[in-house]
Structure formats: structure tokens, C-alpha cells
Structure 1
Amino acid sequence: MPNLRFLLSRRWVLFLLVVLTLAWSAWRLGEWQFDRREDRLARNAVIERNENDPPVPVTEVLAPGSPVADEEEWKRVSATGTYAVEDTVIVRYRTRDGAAGVDVVVPLELSDGSSVLVDRGWLETDNRGATPDDVPSPPAGEVTIEGWARGDATGDSTAVADQSTRAISSERIGESLDREVVTGFVELSSESPEAAEPLQPVELPEQDGGPHFFYGLQWWFFGVLALFGFGYLAYDEARGGPGMVRGRRRSQSPEQAPVDGKHDAGQE
């Protein structure tokens, strides 16, 4: 029976701890990827259900100070009002198919005096970006819109400066414009009357499971590979192979070992 006492040495114990840590981390990362896949599939189910329903008044879904519920995301809504063109906000760094561009957000003033932010679509730009003066104007006068309700983004990317931001937050944009806006915003699908120069419509998210399933399998494979590698090295050490400790010197026989730095006494 192989002598496995070497596994109690400091070197092998530390090696085992490292391998177990790597395997546990790979397992947790795999679970995280599978959880992300489940979240994405649940989101897809909400989108599929909501985007096929008839539109409802925007005030039934979006309200001041009330975050958009998960089940209301991508719900079709409609509203009638007047665009406040002077308060146009540019959303930077919205690349499509490798082309630089921006999203154009304009408040729509409702009859009750509040406003709803409308992402009217995407505009291709050069590398310098765009300003509110560069974008095509929305329809003048009263306009009726339809679109999808969206919740606010969070984090530092929602900061607004010079009517420009990197992510849409109705709270941050409302504060910047000194305007009362409902919480959340609308991704435009249509407006009547139509604009003279319409923007490219909003892209709906892809409704698939994404790459998370295969990423999860990859992480689990790495964890199993780490355990297998440890087992193989331990087996190799136990049967007298080079192993992790012996190295090439320990594999030599006593007769082959050099004496006083010389391999052959006849070379003296």
C-alpha cells in the first residue's frame, strides 16, 4: 500500500488548501452564472408578457416617488402631452454595431403638470458625441406616444452635467432640470404625429438565456480539474514519481549521484 504520510507535510497541506479554495471558488462562480441565467429567463418572461399587452396610460405604471416594479418593466404605456425640447438630455456612449451614438431623452409635459422622460431613440454621432442642439427636433405641439415603461438606472453613471448623462435616472435628471418628473422613463416605440427626422428606435433586449449556462459549466469544469490535478500529483508522489517534492535530483540512484561535483573519477 502506498505511503501517504507525505500528505501531512506542510507543503502538501498548503497545496491542498489552495486547491480546495480554487475548487470552492469555481463552484460558487458557476452557481452565480446559473443564477444570472435564471434571472434573465425570468426577465424575458416579464418582457414577453408585457410587450404584447395593449398599452395602458403611463400614469397607471409610472408615478412620482414610486419605483417601477419588476413586473411592470417593459409594460406598454401611452401618454399625450407636449415635448419640452429645451430640456433635452443626451445619453452618451450608446454604441450600436460598432458605431458611436447617443440616446435622446426629452421630457413630455402631461396635462396634470408633471412630466415623463421619453427616450426617443438612438442617433449616430462622431467621436465627439452630441449636444441637445445637434439632435433632430421632436414633433411640435400636442403629441401622443406609445412605448415601454422602464425603471431608473443607479450608480455614478447617472450623474447629469450640461444636460448630458451616461445612464437614465429620472430622479437625477429631474433634479438637474428642476422639473417634476414621474419615476422611471419610457422607451419610445411610436409617436403621433411623427417627427420630420425620426431617430432610430430603441432596441428590445434579446430574449434568450445568454451565455451564462456555458460559463457556469466552464467554472465547474475548472473546479473539477483542480481537484483532479491534485489527486494525480498525489498519486504520482505516492508511487515514487518525480512528484512535487522529489524533483529530478531525488529520482537519481545513489550510484548516479555526483561525488564532489564530479561525475566520473576517471576525469580527475
Structure 2
Amino acid sequence: MRRFRFLLSRRWVLFLLTVLALAWVAWRLGEWQFHRLEDRKDRNAIIERNETQAPVPVTDVLGIDAPVSSDEEWTRVTATGTYDVDSTVVVRYRTRDGAAGVDVVVPLVLADGTSLLVDRGWFATDNRGTTPDDVPAPPAGEVEIEGWVRADAAGDSAAVTDFSTRAISSAEIGPAIDREVLEGFVDLRSESPEPEQALAPAQLPDLDNGPHFFYGLQWWFFGALALFGFAYLVYDESRGGRGPVRGSRRQPAAGANAETGGQSERSMPPSTGSMTPVTKDAAGDSRKAAARPNSSGSP
């Protein structure tokens, strides 16, 4: 165990705590994605169940100060009344297939005087500040509609200004048009009689499971990778930090001379001894005459 005493140092203890914290966060994020997957499956099951049921009167589902529950969303309902065209509200920034547009919400006044907010569909615009006067009018007189129940939006996006909003909320639209409205709203499926110019109908939600399963696996993989990386660094440090191969010293070059400290013959310095010049004796002349002494020793 002496090899692992370094784990008790302050640096390694802090490193370990950091890795454990990252692994825990990755685990929790993975669980969160799997919880979202279960929520998505439950929502899809509710939508599929409600879509296959026969429509019921809207007052059986919606009411005054009665929030729409998750089990009631996408229930098919019917209602009969008269559209209040003067209280039309446009929902901005609704795009379809990359095209700009708005949703058109018109209150349907019921027989008891209360109003039902009906999202009649989508209308393409040129992004120049569409007003209620710019959208096609609904059918006049008494109208029978069928649609899907939706829950109110929440947050600042639901605020209503000049009969315009970014999200539909009966709690905000009701006071803005000065009408008592049922809580929630209805995405229109059909209306009778039909209008002169129909709007694009509401889009039903996708019933797939989304990317949550793969996101969850990714987060768990990141956590396992952090733990594996720490274990490898501990292993490497216990071996002296020399990597996976021990004793990887550089070997002497092939043909090195051991007696000369690994130097090859080509790299050895030349001998310090003197060299005798080469001479030519023909005709008593020599290229090194100045260097050759007279045999008699006199000039």
C-alpha cells in the first residue's frame, strides 16, 4: 500500500472529491432525463386515449376557475355559440415550416353568457405586426365547433397588449377582452358552418419518446468516464508517472563504441600526431622544399 500513499496528499484528496462531485452530477442529470422519458410516455398515453374517445360537451371538462388537469388535455369537446369577432386576439411568433405567422384566438359566446377561447388555427403573415383586422373572419351567426382541450400557458409570454400575445392564457385574455371565460382553451378541429377562408388547423403533438433515453445514457457515460480517468491517473502515478511501459530509457545507437562512451568511429576526433608531408624528388624539386632541411645541415 505504500505505492498509494500519495492519495492522502491534499492535491489528490481535492482531485478525488472533484471527480466524485462530477460523477454524482452526471448521474443525477441522467436520472432527470429518464424521468422526463417516463413523463413523455405518460403524456403520449393520455393523448392517445383522449383522441380515440367520442367528443363531450365542453362544459363537462372546462369551467370557471377550474384549471385543466393533465388527464383532461387533448380531450375532444364540442360547443355551440356565436363568435365575438371584435374580441379577436392574435398570437404572435408562430412559425410553420419556416414561414412566419400567427394563431387566431376568437371567443365563442355560449348560451349561458360565458365565453370559450377558441384557437381557430394558423394564418401566414409577413412579420409586419399583424392585427385582428388582418386575419380572416370566422363564420357569422351560430356556430358548432369541435376541438381539443388545452391548458393555459404561464409566464410573461402570456401577457396581452393591444389584442396581441405570445401565448394563450384565459387568465390573461379574459380581463383583456372584458369577458368571463372558461379556464383553458380549445384548439379547433372543425366548425360548422365553414368559413369563407379557413385557417390552417392546429398541429397535434408528436407521440414519439424524444431523445431523453439517449441523453440519459450520455450523462451516465460521462460520469463513468470521469471515474475511469481518475482510476487511470492513480495507476499511472503509482508507477512513477512513467506511463504504461516501465523503464522506457533510450537505448544506445546501434554500432556504438562502448569504450568511447557510445561514440561511433566517425564521430571520434582525429589523432593529434604529426603527419609527414608527401614530396616529389624529380629534378631536385619538392612541393615542400621550404619544409625539408638540407642533408648537410648548411644553407
Question: Does TM, normalized by the shorter one, top 0.5?
Answer: yes
Q: 1:104 deviation in Å? A: 0.7
Q: 1:86 deviation in Å? A: 0.7
Q: Which runs of no fewer than 5 residues in structure 2 stay unpaired?
A: 250-299
For the pair 1:232 / 2:232, whether they are aligned, the reply is: yes
Q: 1:231 deviation in Å? A: 0.8
Q: 1:91 deviation in Å? A: 0.9
Which residue identity lines up with residue 101 of structure 1 in the other structure?
G
Instruction: Quote the Cα distance in structure 1 between the aligned partners of 2:115 and 2:168.
Output: 15
Change (3 A) 1:176 1:8: same
Aligned to 1:172: 172
Which residue identity lines up with residue 59 of structure 2 in the other structure?
T
Change (3 A) 1:228 1:178: same
Instruction: Quote the Cα distance in structure 2 between the aligned partners of 1:96 and 1:8.
Output: 60
Change (3 A) 1:242 1:121: farther
Aligned to 2:125: 125
Instruction: Quote the Cα distance in structure 1 between the aligned partners of 2:83 and 2:108.
Output: 4
Instruction: Quote the Cα distance in structure 2 between the aligned partners of 1:146 and 1:2.
Output: 78
Aligned to 1:96: 96
Aligned to 1:258: none
Q: 1:60 deviation in Å? A: 0.5
Q: How many residues align?
A: 246
Q: 1:68 deviation in Å? A: 0.8
**Structure 2 counterpart SS, 1:105:** strand
Which residue identity lines up with residue 79 of structure 1 in the other structure?
A
Aligned to 1:25: 25
Greater relative CO (CA pairs within 8 A, separation 6+): 1
Aligned to 2:140: 140
Which residue identity lines up with residue 77 of structure 2 in the other structure?
V
Aligned to 1:73: 73
Q: 1:129 deviation in Å? A: 4.1
Identity of aligned residues (%): 72
Aligned to 2:37: 37
Instruction: Quote the Cα distance in structure 1 between the aligned partners of 2:238 and 2:218.
Output: 30
Rg larger for = 2
**Structure 2 counterpart SS, 1:203:** coil
Which residue identity lines up with residue 127 of structure 2 in the other structure?
N
Q: 1:20 deviation in Å? A: 1.0
Residues 2, 238 of structure 1: 8 Å contact kept: no
Which residue identity lines up with residue 201 of structure 2 in the other structure?
P
**Structure 2 counterpart SS, 1:3:** helix
Aligned to 2:207: 207
Moved segments of 4+, more than 6 Å:
none
Q: 1:128 deviation in Å? A: 2.6
Instruction: Quote the Cα distance in structure 2 between the aligned partners of 1:177 and 1:13.
Output: 64
Aligned to 2:219: 219
Instruction: Quote the Cα distance in structure 1 between the aligned partners of 2:58 and 2:33.
Output: 35
Deviations 1:219-245 (A, max 9, x none): 1111111111111111111111258xx
Query: How large is the RMSD of aligned CA atoms in angstroms?
Result: 1.6
Deviations 1:12-38 (A, max 9, x none): 111111111111111111111111111
